Structure 1
Amino acid sequence: MLEPIHHSGPPTAPAWEVDPRLYNEDLAPTLPARRTWSTYNYIALWFSMSMEVTTYMLAASLIAGGMDWKQAVFTILLGNLIVLIPMLLNAHAGAKYGIPFPVFVRASFGPVGANIPAILRAIVACGWFGIQSWIGGTAIAQMVNVLAPSTVNMPWVVAVCFLGFWGLNMYVVWRGVGSIRFLQSYSAPFMVVMSLTLLIFMWHKAGGLGPMMAAPSHFTNSHDFLHFFFPALTAMVGYWATLSLNIPDFTRYAKNQESQLVGQAFGLPVAMVLYSFLGIAVTSASTVVFGHPIWSPVELLGKFHQPLIAFLGLIALLVATLNVNIGANVVGPSNDFSNLAPKYITFRTGGLITGFLGLAIMPWRLVSSSHNYLGWLVDYSGLLGPVAGIMVADYFLVRHTKLDTASLYRRNSIYEYRNGFNLIALFALLVGVAAALVGRFVPSLEDLFKMAWFVGFFLSGTIYYLLMLTQSSDPEIHTATKLD
């Protein structure tokens, strides 16, 4: 079982002076005694985070978009191998220095400028929090429909169930992440049970594995396939784009670099491909059985004619969704919001902010169709890819993995730049985001948008590195350079 990510117990003041505007217990470097996570813990972490409804829906959306099962598996595997690279690169600083993402990003953006990428990442996490809450709410609504069939097609039932599940999440945040710690050991098995239930149901309906996987590709030529493939690949990378930034929030607990490196290199691609295959198989079978792909597991469970099985499947989905939503979508943004004003915003307060923004983003629109869902992933990948590129370029190419931990918690330190902002990082971020997203609004540049994460990552990273070189005669220094 994984320990809670947030700090607990009595405060432990650092041995060096800190600025209270940049420090609280949740942002403090992890003490050596708390760095206990082994390779197994990171494998378990990725299996527990991958085995969730949104992963199922991610895989299902590829089938709904027209791919056959082989094309879908290949796209998912390739996307996760690609995102694993920035994931492992950014994870290094967490394991080496014990610092979370909002502190790590101060090295490249400055102590004040770091709030900009932190909030970009936090807003995306708020969207995921809302999506998970909506999925949980619709699962409750389906259970109500099973118990009281007369409630079918009553929109207010879904709205009430959604707000109820959202309120439950807020209650858990208020009580503390540890209040659902017992669920951490059961969330992944619950999702496996739910998925196998769907698999067996569709196996029976389709008449075997052969017919299940018989749904053909809808693409008649390479041009049509590639037109869908590239934005789909970007969406696969975008799915974990948030975690590729704030992975130090988890690797700060690693025993050593090897444990997080091996654990993640195995856990992420293997867990995603295995669990995604279930979503692919079931959705492919739904095309055969029902004549069209049903990409939502909640909707598919509602088609069960055995109320007890459907009810148990929805319960499993609900429990797992609650655990994943708190663990994956509250920890990161809570730290990010806390970084805005550490003296006033605690982990718990940051979690509440996350919840209310998750409502404001209107998650029901983001998951109203597989097209909207993939579009959401590509959209925000254009915001986070540039941040990842800047962080990697700064830590490995400019600083060669050398950081002054104490200075990250002080103003007017070597990371101050100009009034707390690194203008080079902000310029590189702006150019990268603009290039990645311009194709969304200018049809002739649509290809840039299809590869939004890649465009932003490489363009921002390159611009940042080249401009930082012009500010110092020695690119290997691990001190920041002030802009004139």
Structure 2
Amino acid sequence: MAALCPILVNQPDVARYATCPAQATWSQAIGVLVSKVLVIFLSCATTSATAGVLGKSYWNVWDLYNAILSEYWGPAARAGVFFASAGMILAIIATNAGSNSLPVGADTSGLWPRYINIVRGQVICALLAPICVPWKIIASASSFLTFLGSYTVFLMPTCGIMIVDYWIIRRGNLHVPSLYMKAEGAPYTYYKGWNLRAIAAWVSGVAFTVHGIAGSLDPDSVNQASKNMYKLGFLLSLAMGSLIYYVACLIWPIPVYPRELESQASTGFESMAPLEGFFPGESVDTIRGVVYSVEETEFKQTMGKSAGAEPVSEKYAV
């Protein structure tokens, strides 16, 4: 289950490019559920089979390939290892592009669109990645499994908050112009731009099971109950983050629409979908407070200079 965490949280960064819901559903069903289960099964089967053939089980793929070449050096073995390695290279590139590089680029460009686009965000991700010393993570099977188990504790509360916020609190309704409003009292301004309910829910979800990480590193440092909770960290972190966020929203409700438009709003599930998140009379042209992206700013400045006009310097499109 730990391998699904990044995909569950980051999939909107890729699914937003779909032109219809079907494009996002069938592709994720195959790419996430079928492929993950199949790869996990094949990994277990390969490790078990090599233990019987080579007399030792290998969890690391390149150690397995090296053992095969050491035991069966020949054209067939070398060709098999070559094509298997080529498949691994392709899989690693695709995984990093879809699950690591692209989500970081999309999120950082959303935070600072005036200075960072998706490509620049991906470059920043590549530069910062060595700081995480990934070679130590895969140094042994125990350290790798500890890493896989640990980030579920931090990611699943986020997933739970996203599920509750969209499906229960907002009932699938997003008012698109409100996403660009920074005024006090706007639906997505919260408290000075911070959703304290989500922060409290995330901290609670992490704190509920994070102590179990110590048990995976040093079994004698925590009791058995903590170890058992950590083993269920995927479900417990998800449940705790979801519950705390839901209760917090019941006590301190969050506005789904601007106050002046609440009388026009429907309480039905995804009732804003037919007009794509706009009320009658609204359109993309009525949105205020849009920060220019890097490409838009450079394009406008280039066009302004070529026409003899002043370069675009305003911060917001008004």
The TM-score, its normalising length taken from structure 1, stands at 0.47
| Number of equivalenced pairs | 242
Would the alpha carbon gap of residues 316 and 390 (structure 1) be closer, same or farther in structure 2, given more than 3 Å must change?
A: closer
**Within 2, Cα distance between the matches of 1:301 and 1:318?**
14
The equivalent residue for 1:454 is: 235
The DSSP-based 3-state class of the residue aligned with 2:211 is helix
How far is 1:283 from its partner?
1.1
Q: Does 1:329 align with 2:93?
A: no
Q: 1:348 to 1:268 in 2, by over 3 A?
A: closer
One-letter code of the match for 2:116?
Answer: I
- Residue 161 of structure 2 contacts residue 201 of structure 2 at CA under 8 Å; is this kept in 1? yes
How high is the sequence identity, in percent, across the aligned residues?
A: 29
Distance 1:391-1:324 versus aligned 2 partners, 3 A rule: closer
Higher relative contact order (CA 8 A, sep 6+): 1
Alignment of structure 1 residues 182-261 onto 2, 5 Å: 237-261=1-25
**Structure 1 residue runs of 4 or more that deviate by more than 6 Å after TM superposition:** none
Q: Is 1:464 the counterpart of 2:245 in the alignment?
A: yes
Q: Deviation at 1:267?
A: 4.3
Query: Given the superposition, is the C-alpha separation of residues 428 and 369 from structure 1 closer, same or farther in structure 2, using an over 3 Å criterion?
Result: same
Offset at 1:258?
A: 3.5
1:346 aligns with 2:117: yes
Q: 1:478 aligned to 2:233?
A: no
Which sections of structure 1, spanning at least 5 residues, go unmatched? 1-236
Aligned equivalents of 1:480 and 1:457: distance in 2?
30
Shift of 1:402: 0.6
Question: Which one-letter code corresponds to 1:355 in the other structure?
Answer: A
Q: In the TM superposition, what are the counterparts of 1:380-391 in structure 2 within 5 Å?
A: 380-391=151-162
- Aligned to 1:443, the other structure's residue is in SS state coil
Q: Secondary structure at the match of 2:182?
A: coil
Distance 1:319 1:258 in 2: 26
Q: Distance in 1 between matches of 2:106 and 2:241?
A: 24
Larger Rg: 2
TM-fit CA distance, 1:318: 2.6
In 2, distance between residues paired with 1:468 and 1:429?
14
Cα deviation code 1:331-380 (max 9, x no counterpart) = 01111222332211221221121112211111111111222111111111
Q: Does 1:433 align with 2:201?
A: no
Quote the Cα distance in structure 1 between the aligned partners of 2:106 and 2:3: 20
Q: Secondary structure at the match of 1:411?
A: coil
Deviation at 1:252, TM superposition (A): 1.5
Q: CA RMSD in A?
A: 2.2
Separation of aligned partners in 2, 1:448 and 1:479: 39
The answer to whether the 8 A contact 1:382-1:433 is kept is yes
Rate the CA distance shift 1:421–1:270 in 2: closer, same or farther, 3 A: same
Matching residue within 195, 209, 216 for 1:422: 195
Question: Structure 2: which 5+ runs fail to align?
Answer: 215-220, 260-318
Aligned partners of 2:19, 2:173: CA distance in 1, in Å?
19
Asked if the contact 2:202/2:241 (under 8 Å) is kept, the reply is yes
Partner of 2:150: 379
